[in-house]
Amino acid sequence: MKKSGSELRRPFCIFLSILIFLTSFTAVQASSTTRQQLEEEQEKKNNLEEEMEQNQSEIESKEEQRSQLNTTLSGYNAELSSIENEIYEMEQAIDLKEAEIEQKTAELEEAKATEETQYANMLLHIQYMYENDTTATYINAVLNAVMSGGSFADFLNVSEYVEQLASYDKQLFEDYQAIRERVEAEEAELEAEKASLDEMLSELESDKEYSQYLISQVQSAISTASSEIASIENELTAQEEELATINDNIAELQEKLAQEMALSRAAASGTWRDISEVEFSDYDVTLLANLIYCEARGESYEGMLAVASVVINRVLSGNYPDTVSGVIYQSGQFAPVTSTKNSFVEALAADKAANASGCYQAAREAMLGITNVGTCVYFQTIAYLEAVDRLDVVIYVIGNHGFY
């Protein structure tokens, strides 16, 4: 019997429906994987940008430190240059003082020699007069002359001559002695001045040595800072290269996600069951209530109902598992199911939803067919959607979540 066209098309339509279902299911799975990859890449990007910001901040801090060290070094170098100039001037003054001392020493030697010569001459005069009794002879001659008719004035003249001769020798000796004492005093003063200059020079040399030590310390610190800056800059360059790679990955994943979301929207317009066709168990209520607890316990009741509605919409859609447990445990769909943080497994084991207001109520109302997000089968936090620049897919915004 020849089959009608409609009969021939029926198997093909069934096959096509199955193919569309499988394609849509694969797209849903891929979207979850892509979102997970995108989240991982975004997290890597955020962490890397934070590290780069810290490195940049550290570079700025090190450069400021190096700048301050260079300023300090300039000050120390200027101070050292000033000390070296003072040392040069002090050394010149000491050289001059030594020349003056040398000259005074020569003058002193000459004065001593003159003093000694004059003293020797005095001794010779005395010795000569004593040995030759010149004065007595001369006086006798004068007395004889006086006795022979000379005057007493002649006698006085002889006495005055002898006295003047002794006085002259004595005055010369005292003058030379005074000269020697003055030269000695001047030499002593010069020696004291030189000692003071030497002490000042020693202090300047110590200041110079300390300044050189400070300069070496600052130069070492500058060298260390420069090495650290170079190291951080190299690390920053590597991070920039890594960030460029991550941005390329994110761009590719965003493009892929856009394509997958188009397939997901197409799947959302596929075949849906009526709520009356689904039987829910008490355990389904517990499962859904605890998922709501994990995903939306900080949200308003409307936010809790919206999350519950997404789960029930998937149960009703032909592109997802047809049970609450199947939807919740579908791989890669709800982060708390596989996460150790905010764990769905722990929440379910302790039935934490029982002590959280609204979770069970939202689960029961969603199972009655009540929805405040239409046929949306996805939700993400607004912060995440902003981060990946996909706010365009959002249909409803309730609390901190966007639904699409």
DSSP string, 153-164: HHHHHHHHHHHH
Q: Whole-model pTM?
A: 0.47
To the nearest whole percent, how much of the chain has pLDDT over 70?
78
Three-state secondary-structure class, residue 380 = strand
pLDDT grade for 44, boundaries at 50, 70 and 90: confident
Which residues of 39-149 form beta strands (DSSP E)?
Answer: none
The arithmetic mean of pLDDT across residues 149-172, rounded, is 67
Q: Distance between CA atoms of 384 and 29, rounded to whole angstroms?
A: 19
For residue 250, the model assigns a pLDDT of 80
For residue 35, the model assigns a pLDDT of 62
Residue 156: pLDDT above 70?
Answer: no
- HSE at residue 175, side-chain half, CA atoms within 13 A, is 9
Residue 225: pLDDT above 60?
Answer: yes
Residue 65: pLDDT above 80?
Answer: yes
For residue 266, the model assigns a pLDDT of 63
pLDDT grade for 372, boundaries at 50, 70 and 90: very high
- Dihedral sign computed on CA atoms, order 306, 311, 312, 318: positive
pLDDT in tens, 83-105: 999 999 989 999 998 898 999 89
Q: Distance between CA atoms of 106 and 109, rounded to whole angstroms?
A: 5
Q: What is the CA radius of gyration of the chain?
A: 58
For residue 393, the model assigns a pLDDT of 84
For residue 20, the model assigns a pLDDT of 37
Residue whose entry in the numeric block shows the structure tokens 């029930």: 312
Residue 293: which of 244, 200, 359, 247 has the closest Cα? 359
Number of Cβ atoms within 10 Å of the Cβ of 206: 11
For residue 383, the model assigns a pLDDT of 87
pLDDT grade for 273, boundaries at 50, 70 and 90: very high
For residue 217, the model assigns a pLDDT of 94
For residue 19, the model assigns a pLDDT of 38
List the beta bridge partners of residue 379.
403
Average pLDDT, the chain: 82
The arithmetic mean of pLDDT across residues 390-402, rounded, is 91
152 burial via Cβ count (<10 Å: 0-12, 13-18, 19+): exposed
For residue 8, the model assigns a pLDDT of 35
More confident residue, 181 or 144: 181
To the nearest whole percent, how much of the chain has pLDDT over 90?
49
Q: Distance between CA atoms of 324 and 307, rounded to whole angstroms?
A: 13
Residue 7: pLDDT above 50?
Answer: no
pLDDT in tens, 171-183: 887 888 888 888 8
List the beta bridge partners of residue 317.
272
pLDDT grade for 195, boundaries at 50, 70 and 90: very high
List the beta bridge partners of residue 397.
402
pLDDT grade for 32, boundaries at 50, 70 and 90: very low
For residue 14, the model assigns a pLDDT of 38
Name the amino acid, one letter, at 369. G
- Tallying the residues shown for the chain, one arrives at 404
For residue 24, the model assigns a pLDDT of 39
Which residues, at least 6 apart from 322, have a Cβ–Cβ distance to it below 8 Å?
273, 278, 315
For residue 258, the model assigns a pLDDT of 74
**Least confident among 69-73, 164-168, 172-176, 246-250:** 164-168
Residue 222: pLDDT above 80?
Answer: yes
For residue 303, the model assigns a pLDDT of 97
CB under 8 A, 24+ apart: contacts of 341-350: 342/294, 343/294, 344/290, 344/291, 344/294, 347/290, 347/293, 347/294, 348/286, 348/287, 348/290
pLDDT in tens, 328-364: 999 888 989 998 888 999 999 999 999 999 999 999 9
Cβ–Cβ under 8 Å, residues 266 and 23: no
For residue 143, the model assigns a pLDDT of 59
Three-state secondary-structure class, residue 378 = coil
Q: Distance between CA atoms of 19 and 27, rounded to whole angstroms?
A: 12
Tokens representing residue 212 in the block: 């050189």
